[in-house]
Protein backbone atom coordinates (compact mmCIF):
# COMPACT_ATOMS: atom_id res chain seq x y z
CA UNK A 1 0.00 0.00 0.00
CA UNK A 2 1.41 3.42 -0.93
CA UNK A 3 0.51 5.29 2.25
CA UNK A 4 2.30 8.50 1.28
CA UNK A 5 0.30 8.70 -1.94
CA UNK A 6 -2.92 8.17 0.06
CA UNK A 7 -1.95 10.96 2.47
CA UNK A 8 -1.11 13.25 -0.47
CA UNK A 9 -4.58 12.56 -1.90
CA UNK A 10 -6.16 13.36 1.48
CA UNK A 11 -4.18 16.62 1.62
CA UNK A 12 -5.44 17.72 -1.78
CA UNK A 13 -9.04 16.62 -0.94
CA UNK A 14 -8.85 18.72 2.24
CA UNK A 15 -7.76 21.79 0.31
CA UNK A 16 -11.03 21.61 -1.67
CA UNK A 17 -13.28 21.02 1.35
CA UNK A 18 -15.36 23.95 2.58
CA UNK A 19 -14.91 24.24 6.36
CA UNK A 20 -17.66 25.79 8.47
CA UNK A 21 -16.14 24.82 11.83
CA UNK A 22 -15.06 27.32 14.51
CA UNK A 23 -11.85 27.35 16.54
CA UNK A 24 -12.65 26.78 20.27
CA UNK A 25 -12.96 30.10 22.08
CA UNK A 26 -14.32 29.16 25.53
CA UNK A 27 -10.63 28.75 26.47
CA UNK A 28 -9.45 32.20 25.24
CA UNK A 29 -5.88 31.13 24.53
CA UNK A 30 -7.05 28.44 22.07
CA UNK A 31 -8.88 31.08 19.99
CA UNK A 32 -5.49 32.55 18.99
CA UNK A 33 -4.56 29.54 16.83
CA UNK A 34 -4.79 29.95 13.06
CA UNK A 35 -7.77 28.01 11.65
CA UNK A 36 -5.61 27.22 8.60
CA UNK A 37 -3.23 24.89 10.44
CA UNK A 38 -3.49 21.34 9.21
CA UNK A 39 -1.29 18.30 9.63
CA UNK A 40 -1.56 14.53 9.58
CA UNK A 41 0.80 11.77 10.66
CA UNK A 42 0.49 8.04 10.10
CA UNK A 43 2.80 5.71 12.03
CA UNK A 44 2.60 2.15 10.74
CA UNK A 45 3.77 -0.81 12.80
CA UNK A 46 5.53 -2.45 9.85
CA UNK A 47 6.40 0.38 7.51
CA UNK A 48 7.30 3.59 9.33
CA UNK A 49 6.06 7.17 9.07
CA UNK A 50 3.98 9.11 6.53
CA UNK A 51 2.82 12.69 6.94
CA UNK A 52 1.90 16.08 5.52
CA UNK A 53 1.46 19.70 6.57
CA UNK A 54 1.93 21.02 10.11
CA UNK A 55 2.39 17.54 11.56
CA UNK A 56 5.49 18.50 13.56
CA UNK A 57 4.02 21.63 15.14
CA UNK A 58 2.85 21.27 18.73
CA UNK A 59 -0.74 22.08 19.66
CA UNK A 60 -2.88 21.76 22.79
CA UNK A 61 -3.88 18.11 23.11
CA UNK A 62 -6.77 18.92 25.50
CA UNK A 63 -9.09 15.90 25.89
CA UNK A 64 -6.73 13.53 24.09
CA UNK A 65 -4.86 13.58 27.42
CA UNK A 66 -7.86 11.70 28.94
CA UNK A 67 -6.58 8.51 27.28
CA UNK A 68 -3.23 8.84 29.07
CA UNK A 69 -4.96 9.52 32.42
CA UNK A 70 -7.11 6.40 32.04
CA UNK A 71 -4.05 4.33 31.07
CA UNK A 72 -2.19 5.47 34.18
CA UNK A 73 -5.19 4.77 36.44
CA UNK A 74 -5.62 1.29 34.95
CA UNK A 75 -1.91 0.58 35.47
CA UNK A 76 -1.96 1.70 39.09
CA UNK A 77 -5.33 0.33 40.17
CA UNK A 78 -6.45 -2.43 37.81
CA UNK A 79 -10.26 -2.45 37.64
CA UNK A 80 -11.01 -1.23 41.13
CA UNK A 81 -12.09 2.28 40.17
CA UNK A 82 -14.79 1.30 37.64
CA UNK A 83 -17.38 1.59 40.39
CA UNK A 84 -16.61 5.35 40.41
CA UNK A 85 -16.73 5.86 36.64
CA UNK A 86 -18.75 3.80 34.16
CA UNK A 87 -17.89 2.69 30.60
CA UNK A 88 -21.09 3.61 28.75
CA UNK A 89 -21.40 6.20 25.97
CA UNK A 90 -22.99 9.38 27.27
CA UNK A 91 -24.74 10.71 24.15
CA UNK A 92 -24.29 14.14 25.76
CA UNK A 93 -21.78 16.98 25.23
CA UNK A 94 -18.34 16.56 26.80
CA UNK A 95 -18.98 19.05 29.61
CA UNK A 96 -22.62 18.24 30.37
CA UNK A 97 -23.89 18.24 33.96
CA UNK A 98 -27.27 16.66 33.29
CA UNK A 99 -26.65 12.91 33.65
CA UNK A 100 -24.59 13.35 36.79
CA UNK A 101 -27.55 14.57 38.81
CA UNK A 102 -29.78 11.58 38.15
CA UNK A 103 -26.93 9.05 38.07
CA UNK A 104 -25.73 9.93 41.57
CA UNK A 105 -22.46 11.58 40.64
CA UNK A 106 -21.09 8.57 38.69
CA UNK A 107 -19.85 9.76 35.26
CA UNK A 108 -20.85 7.70 32.23
CA UNK A 109 -17.25 7.16 31.07
CA UNK A 110 -13.63 8.32 31.60
CA UNK A 111 -13.55 10.40 28.39
CA UNK A 112 -16.18 13.01 29.24
CA UNK A 113 -14.95 15.83 31.47
CA UNK A 114 -16.71 14.47 34.57
CA UNK A 115 -15.07 11.05 34.10
CA UNK A 116 -11.61 12.50 33.56
CA UNK A 117 -12.05 14.63 36.68
CA UNK A 118 -12.75 11.45 38.71
CA UNK A 119 -9.69 9.79 37.13
CA UNK A 120 -7.63 12.86 38.10
CA UNK A 121 -8.94 12.59 41.67
CA UNK A 122 -7.95 8.89 41.74
CA UNK A 123 -4.45 9.65 40.42
CA UNK A 124 -3.96 12.37 43.05
CA UNK A 125 -4.81 9.82 45.75
CA UNK A 126 -2.45 7.20 44.29
CA UNK A 127 0.58 9.15 43.05
CA UNK A 128 3.26 11.06 44.97
CA UNK A 129 3.76 13.77 42.32
CA UNK A 130 0.75 13.61 39.98
CA UNK A 131 1.86 16.32 37.55
CA UNK A 132 5.43 15.06 37.31
CA UNK A 133 4.32 11.43 37.08
CA UNK A 134 1.86 12.31 34.31
CA UNK A 135 4.48 14.11 32.27
CA UNK A 136 6.98 11.29 32.95
CA UNK A 137 4.42 8.84 31.54
CA UNK A 138 4.05 10.92 28.36
CA UNK A 139 7.86 11.09 28.09
CA UNK A 140 8.09 7.32 28.52
CA UNK A 141 5.60 6.44 25.77
CA UNK A 142 7.02 9.00 23.34
CA UNK A 143 10.68 8.59 24.37
CA UNK A 144 10.79 12.38 24.21
CA UNK A 145 11.34 14.35 27.40
CA UNK A 146 11.02 17.78 25.75
CA UNK A 147 7.20 17.49 25.80
CA UNK A 148 5.62 19.82 28.35
CA UNK A 149 2.56 21.99 28.99
CA UNK A 150 1.77 25.30 27.34
CA UNK A 151 1.65 27.62 30.41
CA UNK A 152 -0.55 30.22 28.67
CA UNK A 153 -3.19 27.60 27.81
CA UNK A 154 -3.03 26.27 31.37
CA UNK A 155 -3.55 29.75 32.87
CA UNK A 156 -6.25 30.64 30.35
CA UNK A 157 -8.30 27.51 31.10
CA UNK A 158 -7.80 27.91 34.88
CA UNK A 159 -9.37 31.37 34.67
CA UNK A 160 -12.58 30.09 33.09
CA UNK A 161 -13.07 26.54 34.44
CA UNK A 162 -16.57 27.28 35.70
CA UNK A 163 -18.25 24.19 34.25
CA UNK A 164 -15.49 21.82 35.36
CA UNK A 165 -15.69 23.35 38.85
CA UNK A 166 -19.47 22.79 38.78
CA UNK A 167 -18.95 19.13 37.74
CA UNK A 168 -16.47 18.64 40.58
CA UNK A 169 -18.75 20.25 43.17
CA UNK A 170 -21.71 18.14 42.07
CA UNK A 171 -19.67 14.91 42.18
CA UNK A 172 -18.19 15.86 45.57
CA UNK A 173 -21.74 16.31 46.92
CA UNK A 174 -22.31 12.63 45.99
CA UNK A 175 -19.02 11.58 47.64
CA UNK A 176 -17.31 10.72 44.33
CA UNK A 177 -14.46 13.26 44.67
CA UNK A 178 -12.12 12.56 47.60
CA UNK A 179 -9.52 15.33 47.28
CA UNK A 180 -9.69 19.10 47.39
CA UNK A 181 -11.66 20.45 44.41
CA UNK A 182 -9.07 23.11 43.56
CA UNK A 183 -6.29 20.49 43.52
CA UNK A 184 -8.24 18.17 41.20
CA UNK A 185 -9.15 21.03 38.85
CA UNK A 186 -5.51 22.15 38.74
CA UNK A 187 -4.22 18.65 37.87
CA UNK A 188 -6.95 18.02 35.27
CA UNK A 189 -6.29 21.38 33.57
CA UNK A 190 -2.55 20.66 33.58
CA UNK A 191 -3.07 17.43 31.62
CA UNK A 192 -5.24 19.21 29.04
CA UNK A 193 -2.57 21.91 28.56
CA UNK A 194 0.10 19.46 27.34
CA UNK A 195 1.31 20.44 23.88
CA UNK A 196 2.33 17.76 21.37
CA UNK A 197 2.66 17.46 17.61
CA UNK A 198 0.79 14.96 15.43
CA UNK A 199 4.06 13.07 15.06
CA UNK A 200 4.62 12.86 18.84
CA UNK A 201 0.99 11.87 19.47
CA UNK A 202 1.18 9.12 16.85
CA UNK A 203 4.20 7.66 18.65
CA UNK A 204 2.35 7.89 21.99
CA UNK A 205 -0.74 6.19 20.55
CA UNK A 206 1.34 3.41 19.05
CA UNK A 207 1.04 1.57 22.40
CA UNK A 208 -2.74 1.28 21.76
CA UNK A 209 -2.10 -0.07 18.25
CA UNK A 210 0.62 -2.46 19.43
CA UNK A 211 -1.03 -4.46 22.27
CA UNK A 212 0.29 -2.07 24.94
CA UNK A 213 3.95 -2.31 23.84
CA UNK A 214 6.27 0.51 22.83
CA UNK A 215 7.22 -0.11 19.20
CA UNK A 216 10.90 0.88 19.49
CA UNK A 217 11.99 -1.71 22.05
CA UNK A 218 8.92 -3.84 22.84
CA UNK A 219 8.58 -2.55 26.43
CA UNK A 220 5.16 -3.57 27.77
CA UNK A 221 3.66 -0.27 29.02
CA UNK A 222 0.17 -1.68 29.68
CA UNK A 223 -1.17 -5.23 29.31
CA UNK A 224 -2.86 -6.39 26.07
CA UNK A 225 -6.11 -6.96 27.97
CA UNK A 226 -6.14 -3.40 29.34
CA UNK A 227 -5.21 -2.06 25.90
CA UNK A 228 -8.24 -3.86 24.47
CA UNK A 229 -10.45 -2.18 27.07
CA UNK A 230 -9.01 1.30 26.50
CA UNK A 231 -9.54 0.92 22.75
CA UNK A 232 -13.11 -0.24 23.36
CA UNK A 233 -13.82 2.88 25.43
CA UNK A 234 -12.25 5.05 22.71
CA UNK A 235 -14.49 3.38 20.14
CA UNK A 236 -17.70 3.90 22.11
CA UNK A 237 -16.98 7.14 24.00
CA UNK A 238 -14.06 8.96 22.33
CA UNK A 239 -16.21 11.56 20.56
CA UNK A 240 -18.97 12.32 23.10
CA UNK A 241 -22.34 12.75 21.39
CA UNK A 242 -20.64 12.10 18.06
CA UNK A 243 -19.09 8.71 18.94
CA UNK A 244 -21.62 6.89 16.75
CA UNK A 245 -20.97 9.23 13.83
CA UNK A 246 -17.18 8.76 14.13
CA UNK A 247 -17.59 4.95 14.19
CA UNK A 248 -19.97 5.14 11.25
CA UNK A 249 -17.74 7.35 9.11
CA UNK A 250 -14.22 6.32 10.18
CA UNK A 251 -14.46 2.92 11.87
CA UNK A 252 -11.49 3.24 14.24
CA UNK A 253 -11.12 3.77 18.00
CA UNK A 254 -10.01 7.35 18.62
CA UNK A 255 -10.05 10.40 20.83
CA UNK A 256 -10.53 14.08 20.04
CA UNK A 257 -9.62 17.32 21.80
CA UNK A 258 -10.91 20.89 21.51
CA UNK A 259 -7.43 21.97 20.36
CA UNK A 260 -8.47 20.39 17.03
CA UNK A 261 -6.49 17.16 17.38
CA UNK A 262 -7.72 13.61 16.82
CA UNK A 263 -5.68 10.47 17.54
CA UNK A 264 -6.92 7.10 16.32
CA UNK A 265 -5.58 3.56 16.04
CA UNK A 266 -6.01 0.53 13.86
CA UNK A 267 -4.89 -2.18 16.33
CA UNK A 268 -2.15 -4.32 14.85
CA UNK A 269 -1.55 -1.86 12.00
CA UNK A 270 -1.08 1.83 12.80
CA UNK A 271 -1.62 4.94 14.91
CA UNK A 272 -2.78 8.06 13.07
CA UNK A 273 -3.20 11.67 14.16
CA UNK A 274 -4.61 14.75 12.55
CA UNK A 275 -4.75 18.40 13.60
CA UNK A 276 -7.08 21.07 12.24
CA UNK A 277 -8.39 23.61 14.80
CA UNK A 278 -11.91 24.45 13.48
CA UNK A 279 -14.42 22.32 15.40
CA UNK A 280 -17.86 21.13 14.36
CA UNK A 281 -20.84 21.83 16.67
CA UNK A 282 -20.06 18.68 18.73
CA UNK A 283 -16.54 19.95 19.54
CA UNK A 284 -14.61 17.62 17.20
CA UNK A 285 -12.23 18.73 14.44
CA UNK A 286 -14.33 19.06 11.28
CA UNK A 287 -11.55 18.45 8.77
CA UNK A 288 -9.86 15.97 11.10
CA UNK A 289 -12.91 13.70 10.93
CA UNK A 290 -13.04 14.10 7.17
CA UNK A 291 -9.32 13.24 6.80
CA UNK A 292 -9.71 10.05 8.83
CA UNK A 293 -12.83 9.06 6.92
CA UNK A 294 -10.81 9.42 3.70
CA UNK A 295 -7.97 7.34 5.18
CA UNK A 296 -10.14 4.31 5.95
CA UNK A 297 -11.99 4.71 2.64
CA UNK A 298 -8.86 5.02 0.47
CA UNK A 299 -6.99 2.23 2.25
CA UNK A 300 -10.13 0.09 2.13
CA UNK A 301 -9.79 -1.13 5.68
CA UNK A 302 -10.91 -0.18 9.17
CA UNK A 303 -11.61 -2.35 12.21
CA UNK A 304 -15.02 -3.27 10.73
Catalytic residues: 63, 66, 188, 240, 258
Instruction: Compute the least distance from the CB of residue 126 to ligand DON, in Å.
Output: 21
CB neighbour list of residue 164: distance below 8 Å, 6 or more residues apart? 95, 113, 117, 185, 188, 189
Q: Please answer whether residues 237 and 243 qualify as being in contact, where contact means their C-beta atoms are separated by less than 8 angstroms.
A: yes
Instruction: Compute the least distance from the CB of residue 16 to ligand DON, in Å.
Output: 25
From 70-78, 82-90, 207-215, 256-264, span contacting ligand DON (CB under 6 A): 256-264
Beta bridge partners of 237: none
Query: Toward ligand DON, which CB reaches closer, 52 or 190?
Result: 190
From 33-41, 71-79, 175-183, 252-260, span contacting ligand DON (CB under 6 A): 252-260
Closest residue (Cβ) to ligand DON?
63
From 5-13, 134-142, 222-230, 250-258, span contacting ligand DON (CB under 6 A): 250-258
Which of 63, 120, 276, 302 is the binder for ligand DON (CB under 6 A)? 63
Per-residue binding letters, 160-179, with ligand DON (x by CB under 6 A): ----x---------------
Q: Please answer whether residues 113 and 95 qualify as being in contact, where contact means their C-beta atoms are separated by less than 8 angstroms.
A: yes
Instruction: Compute the least distance from the CB of residue 117 to ligand DON, in Å.
Output: 9
Q: How far is residue 191 from each of residues 129, 132, 133, 187, 219, measured CA to CA in Å?
A: 13, 11, 11, 6, 24
Per CB under 6 A, which of residues 123..162 are in contact with ligand DON?
157
How far is 156 from 287, CA to CA, in rounded Å? 25
Q: Is 258 in the site for ligand DON (CB under 6 A)?
A: yes
Secondary structure element (H or E) that encloses residue 63, with its range: none
Q: How far is residue 257 from each of residues 2, 124, 173, 252, 282, measured CA to CA in Å?
A: 29, 23, 28, 16, 11
Query: Toward ligand DON, which CB reaches closer, 50 or 94?
Result: 94
Instruction: Compute the least distance from the CB of residue 189 to ligand DON, in Å.
Output: 7
Which of 14, 122, 177, 192 is the binder for ligand DON (CB under 6 A)? 192
Residues that bind ligand DON (CB under 6 A): 62-63, 94-95, 113, 157, 164, 192, 256-258, 283-284
Amino acid sequence: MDYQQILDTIKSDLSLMPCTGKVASYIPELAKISPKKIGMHLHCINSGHYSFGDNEERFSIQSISKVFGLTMAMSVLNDKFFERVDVEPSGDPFNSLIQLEYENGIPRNPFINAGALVISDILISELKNPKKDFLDFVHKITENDTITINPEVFKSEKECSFRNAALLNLMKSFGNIKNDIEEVLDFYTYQCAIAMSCKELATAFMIYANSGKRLSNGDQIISPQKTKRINAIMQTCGFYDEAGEFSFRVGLPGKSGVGGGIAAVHPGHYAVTVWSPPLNPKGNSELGMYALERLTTLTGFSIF
